[in-house]
Structures are given as C-alpha cells and as structure tokens.
Structure 1
Amino acid sequence: QIEAVLAAAERGFAIWSRTSPAERRRAILRYADLLESHRERLIELLIAETGKPRDNAEYDFGMLPTCLRYFVEEFDRLDQPVIQDPDGQFLHYVQRQPLGVAVGMLAWNFPLLNVGYKLGPALAAGCSVILKPSHETPLASLEALALAGEAGIPPGVVNAITGTDHEVLRPLLESRIPALVTMIGSTRGGIQVMKTAATSVKRFSLELGGNAPVLVYPDADIEDAARKIVNLKFANCGQVCVSPNRCFVHASIYEAFVEAARAAAADVVVGPLVSAKARASVLALVESAVADGAAIVCGGRAVPGKGFFMEPTLLRDVSTDMRVAREEIFGPVLPILSFSDSDDEIALANDTDAGLAAYVFTKDLSRALRAGRDIQAGSVCINEPHYAVHLPHGGLKQSGMGKDCSRYSLEEYLTLKRVSIRL
C-alpha cells in the first residue's frame, strides 16, 4: 500500500510541478472555497474527535482555507533574482522550482490547522504531498483531503495514509522518493524520523516539543499579563506546542500575579485531554510537584464522568528542579515560579533543551529588546502572544528545524537553481 501511495505521489508531482502557477492558483482557490462549503460538517467532525469547544474548532477549521489562500498569494510575491556578472559576459539568474514529493506527519491537537500548515505551501510550490494525520484524530483531515480532487487538483497530488506510526512510517521514510519530510510532534519522535529517513538525502522541516518560558517583570500590567498567559495556557486544554510551561514572575509582584491568574482561570472553558494516558501523565506531573513542595492554587484533579477532562490547574511555589518545570506539560497546568533582581532571568528562561516559543511582559522597551535578542526560542512575543500564517513559526535547539507559516515555510518546498547564459 505504501509503495502504491509513493508511486501515485511521484506521478502527481510530475503533473502538478508542470502545471502553470495560474492554473495551480485557480485549483487551490476552488479547493479553499469547497472546504468553506463543507464548513459545518468538518467542524462537527473536529468536535466529535477532539472534544474541543466550538470556538476552538472553528479556529482550527478556518486555518486550513486561510493557509491555502495565503500561500498562493505568497508564491506570487517570490522573487527570482538576476545576479550581476562582474565581467559583463554572463547573464546569471536564479530559478525557484518545486522540490518534489513532500511527506507530512501531523499532530492530533489541531488536525485541520496542521493540514493547512503543510498542504498550503506544498500545493502553492507545485509539490505533491503524502499526509499522515494522527491516528488519534484522523476524521476531519481525511474528509478535507478527499475534497481536493473535486476541486480539480489532479490525482496523486494530495495523498493521505492512516495507521499507527510504526505500521506506515518505516517504508515511507526509507523510500528515496520523498524529497522533504515534515513533521509536527515530539522531539523524540523527530529524532527517530530523521534516523529512519537517513537512507537517502532528504530535507527536513520539524516542529517539535516546547517548554515555553514566560517572564513577567514588575512594570507589567499584572491583570492583563495574567489573563493573556492563562488564556493561552488553557487554550485547547493546554495541548498546544507553544503553550506557556514555566511562568517566571518577579518576586515583588508574585502574590498579586497569582491572585490575578486565579481569577482569570475561573473564567476559562476547556475540553478534554486526548486520552486517558495523556490525562494520567499530566496528573502525575501535578502530584510530583506537590510532593516536592509546590502548592495547588486551583484545580489539580481529574473531572469524574465521561471524557478525559481535568480541572484547569495553577501551581505556585514551583522550583526549577521539579519535573513540572523540566518537562513539556501537554495539559491544563501552569507552574508559577519566581525570580528576583539577583537572578539572571534570561538564563532561567533558556534553561531547557527546548526553544520553540517564549513570552515577556514589560513596559521597558530596552528590556523587551534584550529579551527578544537573548532568549533562545524561535518566537518571542512581547506583552501579547501572537501567531498568524504570515509569521514564521519554528523552533531552535531541540524544538526542531525549518519553518511553518510565512514565506520561509514556502521556501522549504522549493529548490534554487542557478542558470548562467554566455552573452
């Protein structure tokens, strides 16, 4: 089966890469419109398979057509520069061409957003794709991908496979056909993917685990910072790669911040975690932190009944050596730590192998600029978390390589060729 999918993707690439950008644009925009016409059905599937609240499911769905439309526009803005010849004897120019067959392994937390992050730039660039939705949440993704042919995208350009990872990944990754391997998942999974795929030269674009720090300085608007941090932490029940995991608050405002965060947490609405195993793992982190001296401000328990629900949880008096501050928390738990003037708070923020996102709250412009320069993360947001399709998204250190979103993502799916003509 995998061999057949690879062969189909190879045939699809031969057609799509030679389709004019104007024709590709028309087909992609038809596809985006077709997805919009199936909006309610796809949102219902998202809610059914993830349990996420409707507003979150609407955002998840909306990012797929948004990505498709954005990347066809961004492709038109790419330059193909002429390079000056010092002797005036040659005309040199650079061509951007479709890279080849792209493989995308997707996470379960935002099924259609993740499809958009991979499918949007691939189709705009002229690549064919083989996407593997998570076996935890495949339904909306498979239904959305099945609509591509109805929009006029040729057979073999958009392909999907299902199954548990070990069943499908080895023959897929070991093949010489994929030119690009992309993934949204854990750091451990990303390392294994690179090892398995190292049978031939391939590009990799991997968005992996995070352990995002937050720095809240004394001059910050405490209530505003607490609300924004809490809302991002508990979005999608904390199952977000850029979720705040370590909230460092200056000691002079620590108590006020904890109370403001408690008030903000009382207003949040969360869905379930993805599985019983996931909930048990998050609860174990809370139990470990309490055993080591942390205190529960609110939450901390599983919600009885159907579904894998857990109370939104704030922890105070957390220290940097606790498991809850060292490991990625993929759930609704916010550890609140403190720092003082004698601490190097940037070093505290950087004290992790991960480097995906970071957040800073301050009114001091110089401090904000220094934090943006010195924090080791692919995205640093000052005074408000902000993510959008036109902004590059990706990690440093063990959080991955390459970019999703923005023109930098589109370039992952293109190759550069230099052409020189003797005059």
Structure 2
Amino acid sequence: MAEKIYPMLIGGKQVTTASAFDVMNPATGEIVGQAPELDEAGVESVLVEAQAGFERWSAMSGAERKAVLLRYVDVLEANRARLVELLQLETGKPQDNAEYDFGMLGQCLRFFVEEVERLDQPVLHDPEGRFMHYMLRQPLGVCVGVLAWNFPLLNVAYKIGPALAAGCSVILKPSPETPLASLEVAYLAKEAGLPDGVLNMVTSQDHEAVRPLLTSEVPALVTMIGSTRGGLEVMNAACTSVKHFSVELGGNSPVVVYSDADVVDAAHKVVDLKFVNCGQVCVSPNRCFVHESVYDAFVEAAVKRAATVEVGPLITERARASVLAMVEEAVREGATLCCGGMPKEGPGFSMEPTILSDVQQPMRVVREEIFGPVLPIVSFSDADDEVALANDTPYGLAAYVFTTDLKTGLRAARDIQAGSVCVNEPHYSVQLPHGGLKQSGVGKDCSQYSIEEYLTLKRVSVLLD
C-alpha cells in the first residue's frame, strides 16, 4: 500500500509535486509517510505567495493579528492528540518529550502576541528643541526558516511565534527527517483564519532545490536551527542580497562542577539534561569538567542516575554509528566506559545511555559536538584554569556551572563564553533569550530579543518649529 503523502502548504493551498521522499520512524525503521520534493514551480509560487501574504498580514492591526493567532492556538490544542501521535511516529520520541515539543507551539504563540504589545518605541531628546524624534518598529518582511529535526514543533514555534506576531510572513522548510507533524500544524493555520500566504511550508531532501529560496531578493530575513556547517552554507547562499540573519547553530556545551558543589544534585541535573531526546539537543551538556576532589562521587552518582532514564532513538542509523564510533575511539585512547556504549537490541536506532570517565581534553569526544547519549567526564585540579577549559572550543551556545559559592558562580558566569550560562540548575523558557556566541550563531530565539529580529527600527523626525 502506498504511503500517505503530506502536501506542502503554499499560499493556503496543499501542493504536491511529481516526486516525494519517505519519512522513517527511527524507533522502528518503518516508513510512516511521504513528503513532496520541492520543484522550481513551487519555489517561484511560494515566494510570490509569501510576499502577498506579508502585504495582507502586515496591513492588519495588531489586535486583528492577535485574535487570529490566539484562535490558531485553540485549533492546535484541539488537535493535540493527533499531532503528538504523528510527532512520535516520525521521531520515535517518548510521550513526555513529544508533549513538551508540541506544547511549545501554544507557549510561543501566546507569549509573542503579548510581547509585541510591550515593544518600546521611545521618543528621543532633541538638543535644540526643534524636532520631535521617535523610533518606529515595523514588520521586516518575508522570512525563510530552515529547521532542524530534533524538536520539530518547538523549532516551528520558535520561528512562527515572533515572526507572525511581528506581522511578517514565513516560508518554513522543516527537516526532511521529520516534516510530517510540522506540515499538519501548517494546514491548521487556515482553519484558524490565518490569511493565505502568511504561513507557508515546503519540503525537500535536496539542498539545491531550496537554494533559490535563499538567493532570492524576496526574503528580508533568513533564520535557521541546525549545525554550524549547515548554517554557514545557508548564510553563504543567501548573501546574494542584503538580508538579516538569525541562526542558532552547534553547541558542545560545557559543565563545570566545583569542589563545593552538591555533587549528587549536580550529577542528577546534568544526566537528566544530557539524555533528553537521546542527547540530540543543541544545549546538551557535552563536556563535563569535574573537580578532582569530587570526581569519583560525581561519576558514581551520574552512572546510577543514567540507569533510570528513558531515551528514544537517534534519528538515523548513520547518526548512531557515528556516535558509537566516537565512544569506541575514546575508549581506545584511554577513557573508561562506565555504562552503556552499545546499540540497544531490537528495531530502530536506539543506543544505551553512555558515560565515559578518565576522558582527556584532546579526545574527539570532547572536541566535537556529540549529539547523542554520551556524557564524557573530565577531571580538573586547582592548578587548572577551568574556565579556559570550558572556553576551549569554537562554540558558545550554553554552559552549566555547579557551586555553592556565590562569587565562584558569578565569576564563571561572567567569564565563560556562551550565550546562556545556568548556575546550579539548567533552565530554559520562552521568556528567556536563547542563542549563541562565537560559531554557535547570531541572533536570538525566544524573549523580547527574538521579536526584535523580525522588526525594522526606523527613526522619525518631525519639525516642530
């Protein structure tokens, strides 16, 4: 029996093409649906429709847009069970992870329709008293978003929340590994009354098919969630005209556990975050630096905690093989395998939660972002500069510090080069900005700082005298 094809959404219409690609459940290896391959006609159409959608949407009042977006939240909530089930089919996620992924849609849409009303548009002082100067914020334009597969609906939410609240239109391309639930989310926008062309979604496995969306002069902003290499390719392709960029890229986040930390609490919190989504999280703690005086106690507590966690599959067999190869290489180079390190029996691409001790800084498992269920633990002493160890990476997305000393925590938070530093507990929410330093990206998702990415900043001067 032929698999169900989930059409693209272009200008409010569901669109298929001559070819489609399979979407596989990584927990079972079974094909669960198909999505169309974007073609040249689709590219031309979606650019025209998105521009028309922007003109319609940006001309509406903020109150009108708010009403539509809140109706959209209600429609999404009414379809929660169906969307979560489909999300689990294409990602293999456990139920709680899928519910969280879906839940970010409503959280982001609700937050940003309120946040846009709080935007500051200040009046500026005129030294001579002849002018009234003020700042005006207006919707930026058409936005193209290239999204990752690890949290499909959260990634959609991070983009449509601020973009639609600001009055922009969007063209989203979900990952070819996980496009199905995202497409269903897009279809429901019409039911909520979102004007045609405001939310468009296209699919493809072919990077070259998407390139014309990036090279076109229509988009005002290109945004992305993905790897640093992928981000550089997207930004390079888009630089055929002046555009805004907001990209959240690779992480390889450090943890620093000081000698005065609550060791068991730290181990539990690090392990719990590490194995969320099978370690396939951009802010996952990937390099765990623990003071030598509490090192053994931390490793013991981490191993015990790891035995209690439930993990889903890695996204592909290739991804699992790559992670397993990094573990094997680390063990050959002297690391100790404390737990895990093997594929799980049965169908799909699952792997045991893995903890490595006796890990050294030069090992590849430390130098490269793992993106899998592996926690390498590195010992440091008073003679080491632990902040320098944490900063010894081209990335700077997130970092975690555990200490009971206020000065130590504040100093580490100041000096660690990361877009987010959490002291004594990892914490993320739509109210807080999320984005990286160095090679981890530019711009922010979430918070008031995200919505500013989707707005122009215009100065107006009116002669009074």
The TM-score, its normalising length taken from structure 2, stands at: 0.90
TM superposition shift of 1:304: 2.2
**Other-structure match for 1:380:** 421
1:148 and 2:180 are equivalent in the alignment:
no
1:303 and 2:344 are equivalent in the alignment:
yes
1:422 and 2:454 are equivalent in the alignment:
no
Tell me which of 404, 410, 416 is aligned to 1:363.
404
User: Quick one: distance in 2 between partners of 1:56 and 1:304?
Assistant: 22
* Structure 2 counterparts to residues 35-184 of structure 1, below 5 A: 35-184=76-225
Write the letter of the residue equivalent to 2:301: A
Residue deviations 1:87-145, cap 9 Å, x none?
11111111100000001111000000000000000000000000001000001100001
User: Quick one: distance in 1 between partners of 2:383 and 2:366?
Assistant: 20
Tell me which of 251, 256, 269 is aligned to 1:210.
251
* Structure 2 counterparts to residues 338-417 of structure 1, below 5 A: 338-417=379-458
Structure 1 segments, 4+ long, off by >2 Å, are: none
User: Quick one: distance in 2 between partners of 1:212 and 1:165?
Assistant: 30
1:8 and 2:49 are equivalent in the alignment:
yes
1:267 and 2:308 are equivalent in the alignment:
yes
Q: Which SS does the other structure have where 2:395 is aligned? A: coil
**Other-structure match for 1:335:** 376
The TM-score, its normalising length taken from structure 1, stands at: 0.99
**Other-structure match for 1:319:** 360
Q: Which SS does the other structure have where 2:59 is aligned? A: coil
* Structure 2 counterparts to residues 16-27 of structure 1, below 5 A: 16-27=57-68
TM superposition shift of 1:164: 1.3
User: Quick one: distance in 1 between partners of 2:238 and 2:44?
Assistant: 15
Number of residues of Structure 1 aligned to a counterpart in Structure 2 = 423
Q: Which SS does the other structure have where 1:246 is aligned? A: strand
TM superposition shift of 1:175: 0.1
User: Quick one: distance in 2 between partners of 1:195 and 1:262?
Assistant: 43
| Matched-pair identity in % | 71
TM superposition shift of 1:165: 4.1
TM superposition shift of 1:168: 2.7
**Other-structure match for 1:256:** 297
Contact preservation (8 Å) 2:101, 2:153: yes
Write the letter of the residue equivalent to 1:40: A
User: Quick one: distance in 2 between partners of 1:63 and 1:235?
Assistant: 16
Structure 2 spans left out of the alignment, 5+ residues: 1-41
User: Quick one: distance in 2 between partners of 1:67 and 1:152?
Assistant: 18
Q: Taking structure 1 as reference, are residues 65 and 168 closer, same or farther at Cα in structure 2, changes over 3 Å only?
A: farther
1:228 and 2:269 are equivalent in the alignment:
yes
Aligned CA RMSD, in angstroms, stands at 0.6
Structure 1 spans left out of the alignment, 5+ residues: none
User: Quick one: distance in 2 between partners of 1:149 and 1:90?
Assistant: 45
